[in-house]
Structure 1
Amino acid sequence: MGGITTEEALCLVLQHTPVIQEKEQIQIANISGRVLAEDVKTVFDNPPFHRSPIDGYACRVADLTGASKEQPVCLKVLREIDAGDYSEEEVQPGQAVRIMTGAAIPPGCDCCVRQEDTDYGEERVQIYKAERPWGNYCFKGEDFKAGQVLLKAGRELGFVEAGVLAGMGVPKVSVYRRPRIAVLTTGNEVVQPGEPLAPGKIYDINQKLLAARLLELGVELCEARSVPDEPEQMAEALKKAAKEADLIVTTGAVSVGKKDIMHESLALIGAERVFWGIQVKPGMPTLFSDYQGIPVMSLSGNPFSALVITELLLRPMLAKMMRKPSLDLVRVQGTLADAFGKPSPSRRFVRAYWEKGTFHLPEGLNSNGVLASMVGCNCLLDVPAGSGALKPGDEAEAILL
C-alpha cells in the first residue's frame, strides 16, 4: 500500500464532494446551524413607530426649560400609554402622557423623561430635569428600514438571526437541506451497546462515535448500522445506502487482512477507487472511493484512527457540502507541557488539551485502539514527519476539535 499526503488526500476528496443544492422551508426556531438559501428582505420599518425606551413621561423639550428639583415644571397628564397601546392625539404645549417602555410615542412629543426625575403624578406631573431634543426617544426604523436585504443567502444562521427574523415578522425561511450521511461499520466481532458481550466480542464504538460527531457537525443520519464481514453483504449495504445518502462512511476492513473486505465490496458494485493509503499515523489505510457520484470514505476500524480522519477529511468535506466555513479546520500554536516519547518517522496526530497557549497530553495510552484517554482533549497535535521525541517546552501546532 502506497500513500499520499494528507493535503493531497484532502484535495482529492473535495474534488469528489458535492455541494447540496436542494432547499427546504423551516421554522425560524429551528434555524441554528443551517445555511440561508435565499436573501431575506424587510417589508416594513422596525420599530414600526417611534417608541419609548423607558418608563416615564413623553412630552415636549420646550416645556422643560429650566426644570430642576427646586423649580419643577408642572404638566397636565392626558393619559397613560402602555406597550401595545397607540394614540394619534397630538400632545400640546403644557401637556404630557404617562408612557411605559416600548410604548408608541404620540405626535407632538420630542422626548421622554424618566419617571425617577418626576413625582410620578397621574393627573399632573412635576418634572425635575430638563431633557435634550429626542432624548430617550427610539425612532421608527432605527433597527432596520423597509426594503433592506438584512440577511443574505449563504449566511450560517444562529440565535441572533432567529431574533432578527422574528423582528421582521418572518415565520419560516428557505435553507439548504442537511447532507444525508450513512454510517456502516464492519466486523463479526462487534455487538451493539446494551446487548450481552459474549466471549470474543466487543461493543461497536465507531458507529456511536461517528454518529455522534457527524450529528454534532450538523448532518442528517439516514442510516447507521453494522454489517457482517462478508463482501456481498457489504456490497448490498453500500448500494442500499447510496439510494439515499449524499456521503457514505464505513469503518474497518480497509487494510490487507483476510477479513478486510472493503476493497472487494467496493469492486463488486463498480465503485471507483480514488486513493488508498495516507502518509499519516493514525489513519494510514484510509480508502476513498466514488460510487455513482456518491463519495465513500472508508476509515480504519481503530476508534482513534477513525476520529482523526473524520476531523482531517470528513469535516472539510461537510464544510463544502453545507457551505459552512465554520467547520473549516482551525489551527493553534503553543508549547508542550508534557513529553511525548515516541519518534515520528511519518506525520502523526496526537490527542491533547490546549489552554492559554499550552498543550497538555493526557494520561493513559495514546494508541489507535484506545479512546478513553481522549476524554477531555480538545485538539490534535500535528507532529511533522521526521520528528524525534517531543520534550516539554517544544513548540507545537494543533487542530482544534
Structure 2
Amino acid sequence: MVTIQEALKIINDQNVELKTESRNLNDCLGFSLAENITASFDMPSFDNSAMDGYALCGISKQYIIVGEVAAGDSSDIELENGEAIRIFTGARVPENTSAVMMQEKTKLEGDKLILEEEPKPGQSIRKQGGELKTGQEVFKKNYTITAAGIGLIGALGIDKVEVYKKPKINLITTGNELIEPGKPKKEGQIYESNSYALAAAAGKYGFPVTQKLQIEDDFKAIKSGIKKLLETSDVLILSGGISVGDYDYVKQALEENGVKEQFYKVFQKPGKPLYFGRKENKFVFALPGNPASSLSCFYIYVLPFLDKINGSKRLGLEKYSFPISQNYENRSDRPSFLKAKVTDSKVEILNGQGSSMIQSMAQGNALAFIDAETLIKKGEPIDCYIIS
C-alpha cells in the first residue's frame, strides 16, 4: 500500500512517449501545442481605425471632408492639416492622421465636419504592432488550445499547427449484478452507471473514450476483454473487480496480460483498492467499483496522467483553499476526499459520504481533502479540488 503522495509521484514519474501530429486550425480545440508559435508580422500590421467615424488631421473641432476609406481599401491617402476622411472600423488610417472621432460625436454641414469635442492625439487608432510585434512569442509549447487561441492563431495566418496526439482511452466495467440502463431490472441487479460517469468526466476535459466493454465476473472473459482493449489503448481504465473478493479477478487478469504493477492500494478514503500498471507504453488504471470511489479516483489520479500524456500544462483539477462552512471531524484513520460544494468562497461538506453514494457528488462541485482523524473548525481553510 502507498500513500496518496507516493501514488501521485509514481504516476507523474512515468516516462511517456508523446506523439505529435499536424492538425487543421478548425480541428485542434483542446489539443496541446507541440511547437512554439511566434508572430511573423506585426499585429495589427498597419495603423487602423478602432471604430466607425472620421480620420482627422490636426487637432481642432472643424474639418473639411475630402473622401472615404473602408476596411480593406489599399489606396494610399495623405491628409493635410484641417482635413478629414470618412473611415470605418478596421480600415487603414491615412498618412498624417492625428486621431479618429466616432461618428456619434460629429455632425455634417455640407462638406464640413463639426465635432462635439476636441479630439485627443492618437485616440481610437489601433497602432501597428500594438498587440504583437514581429518575432514575438505568442504561445509556448504545451499551451492547450482554446477558442480564443484558435482565433489568434488564425489571425497570424496559420492554418495548421503541430500538436500532441490525444491518448486513445478504452474502458471496461465488471460485475455480474450490472445491467444496462433502459433494460428491465431483476431482483439483485443494479444499473451500470460507472462507464457513463467516467466517459463523461474524461470527455469533459477533452479525452473521449473510444470503446467500452461490460464484462461479467468471469476470469476468462475479463482476461480476454483486457487483452482485446489493451491492444488498441494508450490508457485502459477498468472499474470494479479490483478488491479482494472471491470474484475480483481484474488484478490477476492484468498480470496474465503482461501488465506490470506500479502500485496497488492507496491509503485513502474512498478508493483504497486502486491499481496502476503499465505494459510497455500502455497504461492501466483499475478503479474501485463503487460509483463515488471510482469517479473520485478518476479525478485525483487518472485525469492528471491524461493531461501529462497529452502534453498539457494543466495536470488535473485546479486546487484551492476555502474556509469550511461548518465544524467537521474526519474520524477515519485514512486521509479522505470528501464530496463538497463550494459557494460564495466557502466549502460545505455534504451528507452522503459513502463510497457507493453518487447523489451527493452530483449535487456538489468539489472534492475536499481532510487528513485522517482531524477536526476542522468552522472558518478554517481546507484544500478543495474543483470539479465544476
TM-score, reference length from structure 2:
0.90
Instruction: Tell me which amino acid in the other structure corresponds to 2:48.
Output: R
Rounded to whole Å, the distance in 2 between the matches of 1:394 and 1:145 is 47
Instruction: Tell me which amino acid in the other structure corresponds to 1:379.
Output: A
Alpha-carbon deviations, 1:186-229, whole Å to 9, x = none? 11221122222233221111111111111112213121221222
Larger radius of gyration: 1
Decide which of 335, 359, 366 is 2:353's aligned counterpart: 366
1:265 aligns with 2:262: no
1:244 aligns with 2:232: yes
Decide which of 38, 41, 45 is 2:38's aligned counterpart: 41
Q: 1:271-286, aligned counterparts within 5 Å?
A: 271-286=259-274
Do the aligned partners of residues 225 and 127 (structure 1) sit closer, same or farther apart at CA in structure 2, a change above 3 Å counting? same
Give the number of equivalent residue pairs.
Answer: 387
Alpha-carbon deviations, 1:92-124, whole Å to 9, x = none? 344321122222212343332333443224533
Q: 1:347–1:385: 8 Å Cα contact kept in structure 2? A: yes
Q: 1:14-53, aligned counterparts within 5 Å?
A: 14-16=12-14, 18-28=16-26, 30-53=27-50
| More displaced 10-residue stretch of structure 1: 337-346 or 272-281 | 337-346
Alpha-carbon deviations, 1:328-386, whole Å to 9, x = none? 444333444345566212222221112345332334x3211111122221222222123
Post-superposition shift, 1:52? 1.6
- Identity value in percent: 27
SS at 2:226 equivalent: helix
Alpha-carbon deviations, 1:53-98, whole Å to 9, x = none? 233222321xx4xx45xxxx342x2222222333213333443211
Cross-structure match for 1:385: 372
Decide which of 84, 104, 116 is 2:72's aligned counterpart: 84
Do the aligned partners of residues 149 and 331 (structure 1) sit closer, same or farther apart at CA in structure 2, a change above 3 Å counting? closer
Cross-structure match for 1:106: 94
Instruction: Tell me which amino acid in the other structure corresponds to 1:49.
Output: F
Do the aligned partners of residues 137 and 335 (structure 1) sit closer, same or farther apart at CA in structure 2, a change above 3 Å counting? closer
Post-superposition shift, 1:398? 3.0
Do the aligned partners of residues 119 and 322 (structure 1) sit closer, same or farther apart at CA in structure 2, a change above 3 Å counting? same
Post-superposition shift, 1:14? 2.6
Cross-structure match for 2:3: 5
Cross-structure match for 1:400: 386
Rounded to whole Å, the distance in 1 between the matches of 2:75 and 2:178 is 72
Rounded to whole Å, the distance in 2 between the matches of 1:168 and 1:109 is 26
| More displaced 10-residue stretch of structure 1: 149-158 or 391-400 | 391-400
SS at 1:46 equivalent: coil
Q: 1:268-307, aligned counterparts within 5 Å?
A: 268-307=256-295
Moved over 6 A (4+): none
Q: 2:34–2:311: 8 Å Cα contact kept in structure 1? A: no
Structure 1 portions without partners, runs of 5+: none
Cross-structure match for 2:205: 217
Cross-structure match for 1:331: 319
Cross-structure match for 1:59: 56
Rounded to whole Å, the distance in 2 between the matches of 1:74 and 1:304 is 72
Structure 2 portions without partners, runs of 5+: none
Q: 1:315–1:327: 8 Å Cα contact kept in structure 2? A: yes
Do the aligned partners of residues 299 and 74 (structure 1) sit closer, same or farther apart at CA in structure 2, a change above 3 Å counting? closer
Decide which of 179, 186, 191 is 1:203's aligned counterpart: 191
Q: 2:265–2:273: 8 Å Cα contact kept in structure 1? A: yes
Q: 1:247–1:294: 8 Å Cα contact kept in structure 2? A: yes
TM-score, reference length from structure 1:
0.87
Rounded to whole Å, the distance in 2 between the matches of 1:373 and 1:112 is 57
Rounded to whole Å, the distance in 2 between the matches of 1:254 and 1:280 is 15
